[in-house]
Amino acid sequence: MPSITSWTRLEPRARSGDLRPALEARIHDPLWLLARQWQFGEYLGDDAGSPIWVRVRGQSDALTAYRPGPLPATGAPGAAREAYDAGTPLEALAEREAAPATDLRAAAESGQHLVRLLGAAGQGAASAAVLRAWPLPGPDAPGASPVTPAVRRFLTVMGGRAPHGHTAADALRTALDSGTVPAALGLTPPQVQAAVPVLRIWLAWHDARFTAAPAEREAWQADRLEYRFSVGADVGGPLEHPNRPGTEVTLDAPGYPGGRLDWADFSAGGPSGLSPTPRRTELTTTVFPAPAAFPGMPARRYWEFEDARVTLGGVDSAPDDLARMLLAEFATVYSNDWYVVPLEIPAGTLTTLSSVVVGDTFSSVLGGPTLMPPPGGGAGDAHWSMFTLSRPGGGRHPAFLLPPATAAGLEGEPLEEVLFARDEDANQAWAIERTVTDPAGSPLDRTRVTAPAPSPVSFAKGTLGYRLATEVPEHWIPLLPVEIRPGAVRLRRGHLTRRRPDGGREPVLPLGRLLTPGRPLDIREEEVPREGAAVTRTWQYARGADGRARLWVGRRKRTGRGESSSGLRFDSLVEGTDPGPSPTG
């Protein structure tokens, strides 16, 4: 029956907007404190039990197939699949890029190591032949651009004194498969027989220095400035036959920006031709649940001391700020209704629960333990779930993905940084190369790379001249809107021109890899919003689940710095500054 002498929930009501005095519960005497506990209903018993054990059954299906790029259309072959082992971090596999052939410093280090290995094996003739066949270029060799003073000093010292490791590896990789060496080395058959084992050891070391991929296997989507790839798992087969196929589930990462990979980057779909290998692990465990807790959580008893770093009474929310009010209500009222059930699952798996049985303090009285409905499969509150994957056509996939991602790694300084920004004054967008990599593999401030000074063009002072367009810094690469089809606009990378010392014109091309020099580049218009975007390339170092270290170059997309102004103006008149010929006496 209703009662007016007890409460199960009290909410303070103040005459002002400050709720702190009501939440401070200032103590006047012990009897007052006991009365407050009585008012909060702490002396009443609830007809509910507390969970004392939980039995969980399910299975974990490993991710065993990987494919870069978007999902293939129906009937299309798509990119080739490859077998995947969870020991390799998925970030390293997705973010890897083709080996930088222009990194002369890395090429010199690799070539010097080859010379050391051959010298230690007593193969002096082979060492000299390698240096003659594939020498590191000098400072005046074509193809090394831009040749900054630091690069020139490096090539002056190392040019011709160390082999080019990347060139040597490309030449030896094909020849060693047939048990011989390139004819350009000019070695005798006994020298070839003695050098081949050393060259194999060096080539294996060279290829394992960092994780790289062929250009056609890169997952980077230049038109979206994001990665896209997919992995597959064989799910639902019988546990008593773990190698018997079940149902293929494809996990697609449609827009991974780089950095830290997590389950939210994926969506679950049906078969797509990945044909993953079945690899299942049965999960059966009985554990003791523990009350869920978080920093600043209110104490379960009124008289307990709480964390002073969190002041729930200081939460400031507007009447329409429902999310903040719901969070405060959950923390103050319902936070002690949740329990944590620990469950260890292998990394790189898709886990599905088949049953969850809860035993509480009333199990013996009420007829036994309680079988919980599957996550998201009940009615009302039981329909709610977390950490489930969305489906492309709608709905949720009832499984939990634990991707084989890196827990913590090391990230180097940016090798390359490009800002994508809108320029409303010029009515176009720009790709601003702030940092690029010089031929020696070191970061280079693009704003300090100066072009040859053109011949000045001037006219008489006091007269007006016509200027077609104002000058724009050379590291600003234009992105011009192009309608590829009705309603679809792309930002096409263009180029500026500069005047050579002889008066002619030449194009100004990007120097970094992000803007794909030498190939056309069309970026989707929505990828360069008003706030812009920033894309960087950095060295990444991490250890996988197998304990091996991985080194790769990854890219990351972040929010930009807003709109920018290049100062570009068309069709302007300027006043001449040339004073003309000096008078003679």
Q: What is the pLDDT of residue 193?
A: 86
CB 102 within 8 A of CB 518: no
Taking the C-alpha atoms of residue 57 and residue 34, their distance in angstroms, rounded to an integer, is: 45
Does residue 332 or residue 240 have the better pLDDT? Answer: 332
Which of 152, 184, 207 is the last residue in one of the domains? Answer: 207
pLDDT tens profile 308-335: 777 777 778 788 888 888 888 888 777 7
Given a contact cutoff of 8 angstroms between Cβ atoms, the answer to whether 491 and 480 are in contact is yes
- Same-domain pairing of 187 and 131: yes
Whether residue 98 contacts residue 266, with contact meaning beta carbons closer than 8 Å, is answered with no
Q: Cα–Cα distances in Å, from 57 out to 76, 208, 371, 499?
A: 39, 40, 12, 73
Q: How far apart are the C-alpha atoms of 421 and 532, rounded to whole Å?
A: 5
Smallest CA-to-CA distance from 358 within 8, 16, 53 is with: 53
d(CA 346, CA 281): 8
Percent of the chain with pLDDT over 70: 84
Distances (CA, A) of 209 to 106, 115, 166, 266, 553: 10, 17, 12, 30, 12
556, part of any domain? yes
* 459 and 543 inside one domain: yes
Rounded to 5°, angle at Cα 565 from 564 and 567: 165
- pLDDT band at 523, cuts 50/70/90? very high
The answer to whether position 393 is within a domain reads no
The total number of structural domains in the chain stands at 3
Of the ranges 3-12, 83-92, 261-270, 368-377, which one carries the lowest mean pLDDT score?
Answer: 3-12
Provide the sign of the torsion angle of the four alpha carbons 554, 556, 561, 564, taken in this order.
positive
Query: 146 and 230 in one domain?
Result: no
Residue listed under structure tokens 């008012």: 39
Q: Are residues 116 and 264 in the same domain?
A: no
Q: What is the pLDDT of residues 70-125, one digit of tens each?
A: 888 765 666 788 899 888 889 999 999 887 666 888 889 999 999 999 989 888 88
Question: How far apart (Å, rounded) are the C-alpha atoms in residues 101 and 262?
Answer: 32
pLDDT at residue 490, rounded to an integer: 93
* Nearest-angstrom CA–CA distance, 24 and 313: 9
Environment class of 530 (CB within 10 Å of its CB; exposed 0-12, middle 13-18, buried 19+):
exposed
109 exposed, middle or buried (CB, 10 Å; 0-12, 13-18, 19+)? middle
Give the pLDDT confidence of 14-39 residue by residue, as tens digits.
Answer: 567 676 766 666 666 677 777 777 77
Residue 56's DSSP bridge partners are 285, 356
**Around Cβ 83, how many Cβ atoms within 10 Å?**
9
Residue that is written with structure tokens 């405060």 in the block:
328
Kindly state whether residue 479 falls inside one of the protein's structural domains: yes
Q: Do 113 and 200 fall within a single domain?
A: yes
With 50 as the cut, is the pLDDT of residue 550 above it?
yes
Please report whether residue 452 resides in a domain.
yes
Determine the pLDDT at residue 581.
47
583 located within any domain? no
Distance CA 509, CA 474 (A): 9
CA dist 25 and 33 (Å) reads 9
Higher pLDDT, 574 or 146: 574
- For residue 129, give the H/E element and its range: helix 124-133
Q: pLDDT band at residue 583, thresholds of 50, 70 and 90?
A: very low
Dump strand ranges (E) for 236-334: 247-256, 267-269, 280-287, 290-291
CB atoms within 10 A of CB 400: 21
Strand partners, 358: 54, 370
Instruction: Tell me 224's DSSP state.
Output: T
User: Does residue 565 lie in a domain region?
Assistant: yes
Q: With left for phi above 0 and alpha for psi between -120 and 50, is residue 41 left, alpha or beta?
A: left
Report the alpha-carbon distance of residue 287 to residue 54 in Å, rounded: 6
> Are 491 and 567 found together in one domain?
yes
Confidence of residue 299 (pLDDT cuts 50, 70, 90): confident
pLDDT at 511: 87
| Judgement on whether residues 445 and 462 belong to the same structural domain of the protein | yes
Say if 366 falls within a structural domain. Answer: no
348 φψ region: left (φ > 0), alpha (ψ -120 to 50), beta (else) = left
Quote the strand ranges of 236-299, DSSP E: 247-256, 267-269, 280-287, 290-291
Tell me: pLDDT of 573 over 80: no
Among residues 207, 228, 248, which one ends one of the domains?
207
Name the β-bridge partners of 445: 435
- When mean pLDDT is compared across 14-28, 449-463, 480-494, 501-515, the lowest value belongs to 449-463
Return the beta strands (E) in 361-404 as ranges: 370-371, 389-390, 396-397, 400-402
pLDDT greater than 90 at residue 225: yes
Instruction: For residue 374, give the DSSP letter.
Output: P
One domain, residues 189 and 229: no
Highest mean pLDDT: which range of 4-8, 143-147, 222-226, 455-459 = 222-226
Cβ(91)–Cβ(229) below 8 Å: no
> Do 497 and 523 share a domain, yes or no?
yes
Domain boundary among 274, 290, 305: 274
Q: Is the pLDDT of residue 63 over 90?
A: yes
The full length of the chain comes to: 585
> Which tens digits make up the pLDDT trace of 396-431?
888 899 998 887 788 989 999 999 999 888 788 999
Q: Is residue 323 part of a domain?
A: no
Cβ neighbours of residue 208 under 8 Å, at least 6 residues apart? none
Helix/strand/coil (H/E/C) assignment for every residue in 72-98: CCCCCCCCCCEECCCCCCHHHHHHCCC
Residue 240's domain comprises 64-91+216-274
247 φ/ψ angles, rounded to the nearest 5 degrees: -115, 130
Say whether both 68 and 170 belong to one domain.
no
* Distance of alpha carbon 470 from the chain centroid: 38
Structure tokens at 355: 């049953």
Q: What is the DSSP string of 527-539?
A: GS-TT-EEEEEEE
Say whether both 174 and 226 belong to one domain: no
CB atoms within 10 A of CB 119: 13
Judgement on whether residues 159 and 189 belong to the same structural domain of the protein? yes
If pLDDT is split at 50, 70 and 90, which confidence band does 585 have? very low
pTM: predicted TM-score of the whole model, two decimal places:
0.80
